[in-house]
């Protein structure tokens, strides 16, 4: 109904505008011809308004959808940040990935520049390791290691599956990609959050998502 009223008003105003101009420019013009043009202009404006209304409604719907998605994304990011702060304060996680976990990440092709720590083998290649924040130059062998925060930085905040965004959520020892109205896309529950993140990264790489 709104569409018809909108089109009618546009057609009416367009025809009236023609009638006013016609009276000012050619006051002695044949009224039959004037009425014919009045009707033609009304119909043209009416049809134009029908298409224009659909275009405006489509644009409005798209803007509302984008706004809703933005609000949902902002809310999810806010929740995620709060969860991250809580996780970083938890003391049940190791300082960084173990030697075995570090090697797994390297073998998966994770960029070693994303690591924020390094295991350094002793000079006699004994299994004893030294953990350094900055790796000195000239050492024969080092293995990168990732802290909890470095692993978190590797995880995408969202994953898209069948046009649905799944949100990254972390609990005490669990990593989940979830969507309120769908089953979880992925979840990993290990002994601590760091272990769950390593498992999640391995899954992401194998799935071609990282």
Using one digit for the tens of pLDDT, what is the confidence trace for 146-199?
A: 988 899 999 998 898 888 889 998 888 899 998 888 888 999 999 898 999 999
Rounded Cα distance between 30 and 37, Å, is 11
For 73, other C-beta atoms within 10 Å of its C-beta total 14
Q: How far is CA 86 from the centre of its chain?
A: 23
Backbone CA torsion sign across 135, 138, 144, 145:
negative
Each residue's pLDDT, cut to its tens digit, for the chain (210 residues) gives 777 777 667 766 666 765 676 666 666 666 666 566 667 777 776 777 677 777 888 888 888 888 877 777 676 666 666 655 555 555 567 888 888 999 999 999 999 889 888 887 766 655 455 555 555 555 557 788 898 889 999 999 889 888 888 999 888 889 999 888 888 899 999 989 899 999 999 999 999 998
Rounded Cα distance between 61 and 57, Å, is 6
Rounded Cα distance between 156 and 149, Å, is 13
Whether the pTM exceeds 0.75: the reply is no
Rounded Cα distance between 174 and 191, Å, is 9
């Amino acid at each position: 109904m709104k569409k018809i009223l909108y089109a009618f008003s546009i057609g009416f105003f367009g025809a009236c505008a023609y009638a006013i101009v016609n009276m000012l420019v050619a006051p002695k013009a044949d009224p039959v011809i004037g009425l014919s043009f009045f009707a033609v202009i009304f119909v043209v404006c009416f049809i134009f308004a029908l298409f224009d209304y659909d275009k405006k409604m489509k644009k409005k719907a798209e803007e509302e959808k984008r706004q809703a998605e933005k609000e949902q994304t902002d809310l999810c990011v806010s929740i995620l940040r709060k969860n991250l702060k809580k996780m970083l304060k938890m003391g049940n996680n190791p300082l960084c990935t173990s030697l075995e976990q570090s090697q797994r990440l390297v073998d998966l092709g994770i960029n070693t520049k994303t690591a924020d720590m390094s295991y350094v083998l002793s000079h006699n290649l004994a299994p004893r390791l030294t953990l350094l924040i900055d790796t000195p130059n000239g050492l024969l062998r080092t293995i990168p290691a990732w802290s909890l925060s470095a692993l978190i930085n590797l995880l995408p905040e969202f994953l898209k599956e069948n046009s649905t965004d799944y949100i990254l959520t972390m609990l005490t020892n669990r990593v989940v990609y979830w969507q309120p109205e769908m089953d979880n896309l992925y979840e990993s529950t290990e002994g601590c959050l760091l272990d769950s993140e390593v498992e999640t990264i391995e899954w992401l790489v194998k799935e071609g998502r990282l």
